[in-house]
Structure 1
Amino acid sequence: MSALPDPALSRAVLIGVSSYVHLEPLPAVANNLPALAHVLTSSGSWDLPEGHCTVVAEPDSTPAMLDAVQQAAEVAEDTLLIYFAGHGLLDGRGDLFFGLPRSTAGRSHTGVTYQALREILTDASAQRYVIILDCCMSGRALGSMSGDEMLADQAEIEGSYLLAAAPDNGLALAPPGETHTAFTGELLHLLRDGIPGSARDLDLDLVYRHLRAALGARGLPQPQKRVRNTAGRLILARNHAYRPPPANGPADPASTPWPDPGQCHTPHAFLQALAEVRAVSGHTLSALSQRADPPISAGSISALLNRTTLPGTWKTTGIYLTACGLPAEQADAWKAAWQRLRATEPATRPAPPAAGAAPAPRTWRARLGRGKRRP
């Protein structure tokens, strides 16, 4: 399964309550929803069609909040993301429930219990799901996913990721005057601006680590997580802070580290990294052709570096990496990454465009070399 969700087969439901009768209002929550929806529907993230990203603002009853979740759970086949921002409250037994506009602390019947959300996801058809809770007491949801009652086990899906804004008894903050809540504001900052470093894409684990570091440095509550299987490698967005080596990279590879194939979670990232190997080596295509053993032409190298799908065999790639000067001990890691990504690529390929058809836009997702989407 690809680390990047298929937008045609994925859904997101973003829920937020900012106005309360008996509890403190949270005006920043109202700004969270459109901002997060904009990111998830952009080509730099999941590129979800607008109809696949549902915003539920100010629901005043359990059906008003969960009907959209139920509908998304019935049709999502790849990834299902559920986000809630608002007051998180505890009932008399200490269990988490979500605050609706007229909710009262300690009375779960005035809100929506986390158990009600779990019951929907238990029957979800998605292969993996993400739950993001930006509310007080959201860490209680982690406890309800333990032992024999673990939601991921009940749902029988490949991967799950629960990201909670605050520990069991912590308070998720909505600083007065801020546009967004502290947790979601930092999340949006990471997805929009990226994280400096070698990662080409932002997966859930990387986002989580930087959220903890950034919020902790500001003295704010640190988020918690619960992960099932490989869900932590699910990509949320392209890393906008990533900067590849310059095209005329240094002649001495010791001055710049080789790209890490372990950071390549998509075919596009792998192909981009291949090109960066040449930049780090400092060799021209002609020089690489002369260094290759057995020989390969400069045209073959150029064709390799301009592919939009992974090569079907390893031979040319291996020769190219050796010609660039990649240490022999690193070659196995590159081949393992190629094999891993090949296993995620669909067997079918998009049909060629009809004569006279306009070329498809070369967006980030269009260059990933994905197979034809199912309807």
Structure 2
Amino acid sequence: MRALPDPAESRAVLVGVSRYSALESLPAVANNLPALADVLTGSASWHLPSDHCSVIAEPQTLRDMLDPVKAAADHAKDTLLVYFAGHGLLDGRGELFFGLPGSVQGQSYTGVTYQSLREIVRDCAAQRIVIILDCCMSGRALGLMGGEDLLADQAEIDGSYLLAAAPENGRALAPPGERYTAFTGEFLRVLRHGIIGRSRELDLNTVYQWLRSELAAKGRPVPQKRDRNTAGRLVLASNPAYRPSPASARASGGETAWPDPEECHTVLAFLEALAEVRALTGLTIQALGERAEPSVAPATISRLLNRRTLPATWKTLGIYLAACGLTPEQVDAWQSAWQRLRIKEQSRPDPPVPAAPQRPAPPWRVRLPGRRRKRP
């Protein structure tokens, strides 16, 4: 069964290095980080609170990069996601390390070894660990690779999901004129626009298969993955391109095959499934309002089907679903899904209200009212 991370118990750390002194710079990496953070904190994906998604741009030292990872690992109980974009290099022993701005090819002490990251995430108590490595390899480092799977082989962690861009040089990783690196650009496109013909929600395995197909078709490095247990069923986002198949609208025996509310792990997926129920009835909003008991104004149903957040109360939802023809048992299943999503929504901390900026009062406002300064 697919699973959506609990935002309150999950953390993400996004690290990127775009400027190098001794290696080719990767300017597109600087655009990757805010775009990916925007997706992960959005309602169509994990809806992480902003303080649960750390963006670390241009870390200068090992601690600059790994201290935020350690802090996230200490707090994550559901899912921990760590993303790195930049140069992935090999030292003289063929071991992987991440390039920092001052890193030198072949000298791991100038960067951050993968083993250092591995030690942190291995101690994490999270149920799932997702590692995304958008690492390029310089041309010389590529010559040291024993095979195209070496990067994934080295990065494997028990009980986790690794998604890694194929080892390649900087130019192939970040095509000239493109806003994002090749791998992350395609990754973002899938999460933002979805996949036609796939299910309502996109999990890691679905996204990985799509990335391999699309990047291979474009002649770009093909990503690798290593997954342990069921991490590949982790939901990444709702599928904006989802459309119910007309052939699946009827189940065996001629009964309507309604959307399954238990498969809705995001608010957006729930609301889209709600609208799909009406589409399957073939009834207009006006007709549904007349069928409802008690009757519901068409404008109320229209507002319900165009919401972007969950209704705060269940009553209208239950009346609407019954008017669509769902049985009491089916309506109860929808109510359970609504309650599950409401609990998650309510457990999410409200964003802090920014304090009004404190400005020094101008001299003419300091005097007490009604008092005049005596002239000398």
- The reply to whether TM is greater than 0.5 is yes
Q: Does 1:39 align with 2:39?
A: yes
Deviations 1:118-177 (A, max 9, x none): 00001112221211000125953421356xxx432xxxxxxx2110011xx545611122
Shift of 1:286: 12
- Which residue pairs with 1:8 in the alignment? 8
Q: Distance in 2 between matches of 1:281 and 1:57?
A: 50
Q: Distance in 1 between matches of 2:150 and 2:294?
A: 56
- Which residue pairs with 1:314 in the alignment? none
- Which residue pairs with 1:266 in the alignment? 265
1:151 to 148, 158, 169: 158
Query: 1:29 touches 1:180 (CA, 8 Å); kept in 2?
Result: yes
Query: 1:96 touches 1:140 (CA, 8 Å); kept in 2?
Result: no
Q: Does 1:226 align with 2:226?
A: yes
Q: Name the CA shift for 1:57/1:320 in 2 (closer, same or farther; >3 Å).
A: same
Q: Distance in 2 between matches of 1:298 and 1:68?
A: 53
Q: Distance in 2 between matches of 1:279 and 1:343?
A: 20
Q: Distance in 2 between matches of 1:88 and 1:59?
A: 15
Q: Name the CA shift for 1:259/1:108 in 2 (closer, same or farther; >3 Å).
A: farther
Query: 2:44 touches 2:266 (CA, 8 Å); kept in 1?
Result: no
The amino acid that maps onto 1:128 is R
Query: 1:134 touches 1:165 (CA, 8 Å); kept in 2?
Result: yes
Query: 2:238 touches 2:266 (CA, 8 Å); kept in 1?
Result: no
Q: Name the CA shift for 1:109/1:145 in 2 (closer, same or farther; >3 Å).
A: closer
The amino acid that maps onto 2:20 is Y
Q: Name the CA shift for 1:231/1:320 in 2 (closer, same or farther; >3 Å).
A: farther
Q: Distance in 2 between matches of 1:285 and 1:170?
A: 54
Shift of 1:36: 1.0
**Matched position secondary structure for 1:213:** helix
The amino acid that maps onto 1:59 is P
Shift of 1:11: 1.1
Query: 1:139 touches 1:164 (CA, 8 Å); kept in 2?
Result: no
Q: Name the CA shift for 1:372/1:24 in 2 (closer, same or farther; >3 Å).
A: same
- TM-score, normalization: structure 1? 0.69
- Which residue pairs with 2:107 in the alignment? 107
Query: 1:198 touches 1:259 (CA, 8 Å); kept in 2?
Result: no
The amino acid that maps onto 1:144 is Q
Deviations 1:41-91 (A, max 9, x none): 222222222211111111111111111101111111111111000000011
Aligned residues between the structures: 317
Q: Name the CA shift for 1:197/1:259 in 2 (closer, same or farther; >3 Å).
A: farther
**Matched position secondary structure for 2:202:** strand
The amino acid that maps onto 1:38 is D
Q: Distance in 1 between matches of 2:51 and 2:212?
A: 32
Query: 1:198 touches 1:260 (CA, 8 Å); kept in 2?
Result: no
Query: 1:69 touches 1:82 (CA, 8 Å); kept in 2?
Result: yes
Gaps (5+ residues) in structure 2? Answer: 138-147, 297-303, 315-321, 350-376
RMSD: 4.3
- Which residue pairs with 1:199 in the alignment? 199
- TM-score, normalization: structure 2? 0.69
Q: Distance in 2 between matches of 1:49 and 1:182?
A: 27
Q: Distance in 2 between matches of 1:229 and 1:344?
A: 29
- Which residue pairs with 1:291 in the alignment? none
Q: Does 1:173 align with 2:173?
A: yes
Q: Distance in 2 between matches of 1:197 and 1:9?
A: 32
Q: Name the CA shift for 1:24/1:129 in 2 (closer, same or farther; >3 Å).
A: same
Q: Name the CA shift for 1:113/1:204 in 2 (closer, same or farther; >3 Å).
A: same
Q: Does 1:90 align with 2:90?
A: yes
Q: Name the CA shift for 1:139/1:53 in 2 (closer, same or farther; >3 Å).
A: farther
Percent identity, aligned pairs only, is 57
Q: Name the CA shift for 1:56/1:301 in 2 (closer, same or farther; >3 Å).
A: farther
Q: Distance in 1 between matches of 2:164 and 2:294?
A: 49
Q: Distance in 2 between matches of 1:4 and 1:301?
A: 36
Q: Distance in 2 between matches of 1:191 and 1:236?
A: 8
- Which residue pairs with 2:144 in the alignment? none
Query: 2:2 touches 2:233 (CA, 8 Å); kept in 1?
Result: no
The amino acid that maps onto 1:110 is T
Query: 1:267 touches 1:368 (CA, 8 Å); kept in 2?
Result: no
The amino acid that maps onto 1:162 is L
Q: Name the CA shift for 1:16/1:145 in 2 (closer, same or farther; >3 Å).
A: closer
Shift of 1:371: 6.9
Q: Distance in 2 between matches of 1:374 and 1:279?
A: 32
**Matched position secondary structure for 1:27:** coil
Q: Distance in 2 between matches of 1:368 and 1:266?
A: 11
